[in-house]
Amino acid sequence: MKITDVRSVVVGNPWKNWIFVVVETDEGITGLGEATGGLSTQPTVAAIEEVKHLVIGKDPRRIHTIWNDLYLAGFLRVSKEMAGIEMACWDITGKALGVPVHALLGGKMRDSVRVYANGWYSGDRTPEGFADRAKVVTGKGYTALKFDPFGTAYLTMSKRESREAEALVAAVRESVGPDVDILIEAHDRFSVGQAIEIGNWLAKYEVTWFETPVYSTDIDALVEVARRVPVRVIAGERMHDLHEFAQFLATNVTDVINPEPLGVGGVFRSVQIAGLARAHHAQIALHNAESPLKTAIALQIDAVTPNVFIQECFDDFLEPWVTDVLQGFPRVRDGEVEIPDAPGYGVTLNEAEAKKHPYGKSNFLRMFKPGWERRDVAKTE
Contact criterion met (CB below 8 Å) for 54 and 308: no
Strand pairing report for 30-34 and 326-327: unpaired
Q: Residue 368 and residue 381: Cα distance in Å, rounded? A: 11
Residue in 98, 201, 219, 99 with CA at minimum distance from that of residue 157: 201
Helix, strand, coil % in the chain, rounded to nearest 5 = 40, 20, 40
The dihedral through the CA atoms of 34, 93, 237, 316 has a sign that is: positive
Supply the residues annotated as catalytic. 187, 287
Q: Which stretches within the chain are classed as H helix?
A: 42-51, 63-73, 80-97, 101-104, 127-139, 159-176, 192-202, 219-228, 242-250, 261-264, 267-279, 292-303, 322-325, 351-354, 377-380
Q: Which stretches within 251-368 are classed as H helix?
A: 261-264, 267-279, 292-303, 322-325, 351-354
